[in-house]
Chain A
Amino acid sequence: MKITDEVRISDNGFVFNSKTGDSFNVNPTGLELTKLIALGHDFDTIKNIFLEKYELDDLTFEKDFYEFCALIKYHQITSQEDPLDFK
């Protein structure tokens, strides 16, 4: 999963996708998550960062993470690096 090249993310939570023309607002945790995904971190790394920083349990994070990923994928903010995800 990677952030598509056409997507720009501002530091105040504004996301613009020049491919679709759509723009979005993300909340602070959504912004942080998007940026960590953009940096190429995997799930476990991101989870550890969040668990260390926030009052949060691992299952809640896992549910929210995958839901958020499904949403940004639906909005074409991310795409799968390898269509088969087969490494």
Chain B
Amino acid sequence: MDKLKYDKPSISKINAGMPSKFGLPVKQKIISEIEGIKVSALIEEYGSPLFVISENTIREVFAEAKRAFETRYPKVQFAWSYKTNYLDAVCSIYHDEGSWAEVVSGFEFEKALSNGVNGSQILFNGPDKSEADLIMAIENNACIHIDHFDELYLLIETSRKLQKKARVAIRVNLDAGIYPIWDRFGFNYENGDAWNAINRIMLAESLELIGLHTHIGTYIMAQTAYAIAASKLANLYIAIHRKFDYWLKYIDLGGGFASKNTLKGAYMPGSETCPSFDEYAEAISNALISSEIPHENLPILFLETGRALIDDAGYLLTTVIANKRLNNGRRSMVIDAGVNLLFTSFWYNLGVYPTRELGHAEESTIYGPLCMNIDVVRDAIVFPQVKTGEQLVIERVGAYNITQSMQFITYRPNVVLIDMEGKTHIIRKKENLETFKQAEENPKRKS
């Protein structure tokens, strides 16, 4: 007699009158392939865990953002935010789509140059620019976004020494209705700091003020905040013209558009609640076009969007190491990718999905493999029973996770790009012992 198919025994408590927040049982989403390639095949070839980036998604999302802004405002220029994901292969796609580079350190500046970006198309942000960084920026004719007065004076000194004009903008922090206000970067608009900095720059013969920049925060879910920021920068833009009879070239509204990830504690998923590119574009364009700036003198609008452009293109493939019951009966499991690879799991409820139909689901906690109590990828997720070795997919991890990943107790994994033809390429190799030995010295061994 044939034996029957076995299902793992399960028991679930009935909570009468307590439906899920959507009132109906949640249907388990499954991700079995990425851009037509089976997850199992990717893991078999490149190992687990594995970052996978889809070129197709990068280009599609970029096209959507570009269309949203270019159909509403006459002069728009995107600058790829290197810190969001600075793998050369990724940056090259954005540059191929026409993006300039937005960098925040000497290292990123060098990376942009090595990716073939013309120095004059690099926006140099960040609070830490050494004299050597400034020299590199001036010599390459980059747009230097000044963060504080010490940097302003160092820049005046450096450009005098080089006898070359530095092209600069100032970073302005302002009250856009987002609290707490990000006031640690740049010069404040409301208390007059920004105006003082502008006046000082206009008096400096070795500096050429060409733009105004602001970055009001990150994961900004209110498009109206951008409208306020754009209006305030437009006021400064007009004030500069009135006093100095001079039109700047651009207004840069930074980044901060929300991706479709869901913040911890959010009631509704991010995919339902975050503004679309069209909504951001409508708010910003309206604010600039309806300002006092004459149409013929409208500035170029720079956008340094990172997160919203690339989050959807990144996946992390992972494998279940173990299942456990916690003391309180709650189910938990350990996967082979932890917070060392998923920095964004500290503030997002990342979407973790099985690769095939599985049985009974119950509330579970997902731990990473690190020997650390903080290594929690999801603290509460309704997830089906899985066996060890089961492959899972974590979606929307394209932003920040690769650049902020830590080498802690294990090697960082391969990163694979699926190109427009559906071919896979390793774009960053998995680390090994040699990776670390190359950078280490052991004086004891030498003696």
Contact = CB atoms under 8 A, between A and B. Distances in A.
Contacts of A50: 6
Interface residues of B, number: 19
A25 B85 CA distance: 46
B11 A71 contact: yes
Interface residues of A, number: 29
Interface in B305-351: 323, 325, 328-329
Contact of B11 (A26, A32, A60): A26
A87 interface: no
B329 A71 contact: yes
A33 B6 contact: no
A78 B37 CA distance: 47
A27 B7 contact: yes
Interface in B1-60: 3-14, 16
Contacts of B8: 29, 64
A28 interface: yes
A56 to B, nearest CB: 4
A38 interface: no
Contacts of A74: 328-329
B326 to A, nearest CB: 10
Contacts of A65: 9
Contact of B4 (A27, A33, A55): A55
B360 interface: yes
A67 B4 CA distance: 21
A54 B329 contact: no
B9 A26 contact: yes
B13 A29 contact: no
A67 to B, nearest CB: 6
Given A71-B325, A74-B329, A75-B329, A24 B12 contact: yes
Interface of A is mostly: helix
A34 to B, nearest CB: 8
Interface string A45-60: 0000010111110001
B435 to A, nearest CB: 37
Interface of B is mostly: loop
A23 B14 contact: yes
A18 to B, nearest CB: 14
A29 B6 contact: yes
A64 B14 CA distance: 21
Contact of B10 (A22, A30, A53, A56): A30
A1 interface: no
Given A22-B13, A27-B360, A55 B5 contact: yes
Contacts of B14: 22-25
Contact of B13 (A33, A52, A53, A75): A75
A68 interface: yes
B365 to A, nearest CB: 15
A24 B360 CA distance: 14
Contacts of B5: 54-55
A3 to B, nearest CB: 13
B360 to A, nearest CB: 6
Contacts of B360: 27
A68 B12 CA distance: 11
A29 B4 CA distance: 11
A53 B4 CA distance: 6
Nearest to B4: A54
Contacts of B328: 74
Nearest to A69: B9
Given A29-B6, A29-B7, 12 more contacts: A22-B13, A22-B14, A23-B13, A26-B11, A30-B9, A54-B6, A56-B6, A60-B6, A64-B8, A65-B9, A71-B325, A72-B11
13 contacts: A24-B11, A26-B9, A27-B11, A27-B360, A29-B7, A50-B6, A53-B4, A54-B3, A54-B5, A64-B9, A65-B9, A74-B329, A75-B13
The 5 closest A-B pairs by CB, nearest first: A74-B329, A30-B9, A54-B6, A29-B9, A68-B9
